[in-house]
Amino acid sequence: MNTARLVSGIAGALLFGAAMTARADASLEPGFIAWLGGVQDEALRRGISEQTWQAALPSMRPIERVLELDQKQPEFVDTFWNYLDARVNDQRIAAGGKLLHKHRKLLQKIETRYGVPARVLVAFWGLETHYGKMTGRIPITGALATLAYDARRTRFFRNELLDALAILQAGHVEPKTLLGSWAGAMGQVQFMPSTFNRYAVDADGDGRKDIWGSLDDAFASAANYLRQSGWQPGQSWGRPVQLPPDFDWQFARLDVKKPLSEWAALGISQIDGAALPDEPIKAALLLPQGHTGPAFLVYGNFEVMLTWNRSVNYALAVGHLADRLNGQPALSHGRDADNRRLSREQAIELQQRLVQLGFNVGDSDGVLGSRTRAAIRAYQRSASLPADGYPSLPLLQRLQATGTQSTSQAALSAPAANPIVF
């Protein structure tokens, strides 16, 4: 590789692309220039042409705002109700209903082909980009180069950057249109470049997979992703349910699946009190805000929704928005649950106090994922509390009152990769 030619090319590209960068007058550090040369070599080996590389180069530089957003930790651990109410509100439901009607012919055609209901596609569209109004304005190659050069997740974002260059190479989008979020998600449905290359569809037949400007392509790509990920046509995502007062909370876990008949035998009914459907389908029980909050039985399609985003609250919000677009009522059961949020510092303290009592939470990082919830459940059982695994402010207050007296507890097993969070 001719380093002098690369440096000269970058300098010229920066002048050309100054309007698209965070700071046009900033100079590139030598380490980034050398790193970028390595990316270019790898891109060329993968079949990316010099022409494509040069076209992408103006925006392929560090963006400080991307690093700020990536390193910014949430101030609070939000509750399910706060999360849902911020995303499934009257305005979003009304807008989604109008768009569902406006695009009904297109959506019906896609539903017939892929088996994913129109209301589910519109719900994903609504939560991802507010129906296309917020698709992101950051150059994707710049965002991915920034994140790939950062030491924490280099390989993942480097591969995404190379996938983004492959999208340009294939001619699906112009470099100036390859825009999206600070984390590299793109288009109406916020695909990462690797997801685009696996699942994007040219539904309108114009030779390009355009998830930015073509709703045909965006909806079909989303439906293709869900179907290829295991979506079962004709099956719902799940439903809100009522639990009996004496319910055994140990069963409320995503990894405990029972036929609907067994859940019915345990006293669970539909939200209106009617019996559960007599269908040969397995479900898991979720309590996203603990035993005093709402309860849901979720099916296989819910787990498919989790492949899109590993957040239980996100998947429940998509499912509920789809239900509201189908005319179902707002959720009301469990509204009296304690809705106070934990701060990040409080979440870390909760984890640390569990560790002091002998329970394994993994890292005390404020991320209340599957291992922390398993540790909470184990502690609740040892203290004769409802073992719902929910990290609440009252639970932290109880742990504070307990102090650091150690209790015997076997180590909990490690969670799977990419743990599910709430």
User: Is 314 inside a domain boundary?
Assistant: no
The two three-digit tokens of residue 386, written as one number: 């409802």
User: Is 298 inside a domain boundary?
Assistant: no
Which residues span the domain enclosing 186? 3-70+135-226
User: Is 159 inside a domain boundary?
Assistant: yes
Do residues 189 and 53 share a domain?
Answer: yes
User: Is 241 inside a domain boundary?
Assistant: no
Q: Which of 333, 352, 237, 346 is nearest to 294 (CA)?
A: 333
Distance of CA 212 to the CA centre of its chain: 19
Domain-ending residue, one of 184, 199, 226? 226
At residue 418, the pLDDT reads: 57
User: Is 25 inside a domain boundary?
Assistant: yes
Do residues 212 and 352 share a domain?
Answer: no
The two three-digit tokens of residue 65, written as one number: 């705002």
At residue 73, the pLDDT reads: 74
What CATH number does the domain containing 59 carry?
1.10.8.350
Q: Is 350 helix (H, G, I), strand (E, B) or coil?
A: helix
At residue 298, the pLDDT reads: 98
Low-confidence ranges of the chain (pLDDT < 70): 1-27, 404-419
User: Is 348 inside a domain boundary?
Assistant: yes
The two three-digit tokens of residue 373, written as one number: 């919830």
User: Is 231 inside a domain boundary?
Assistant: no
Domain-ending residue, one of 190, 210, 226? 226
Q: Which of 165, 164, 218 is nearest to 187 (CA)?
A: 218
Do residues 185 and 39 share a domain?
Answer: yes
Do residues 219 and 349 share a domain?
Answer: no
Residue with tokens 């934990």: 342
At residue 12, the pLDDT reads: 40
Do residues 199 and 348 share a domain?
Answer: no
What CATH number does the domain containing 360 carry?
1.10.101
Q: CB neighbours (10 Å) of residue 45?
A: 9
Amino acid at 350: L
User: Long-range pairs for 265-271 at CB < 8 Å and ≥24 separation?
Assistant: 267/243, 268/241, 268/242, 268/243, 268/244, 268/295, 268/297, 269/241, 269/242, 270/239, 270/241, 270/242, 271/239, 271/240, 271/241, 271/242, 271/333
Structurally, the chain folds into a number of domains equal to: 2
Do residues 354 and 216 share a domain?
Answer: no
User: Is 61 inside a domain boundary?
Assistant: yes
Q: What is the pLDDT of residues 38-81, one digit of tens each?
A: 999 999 999 999 999 999 998 999 999 999 999 887 888 899 99
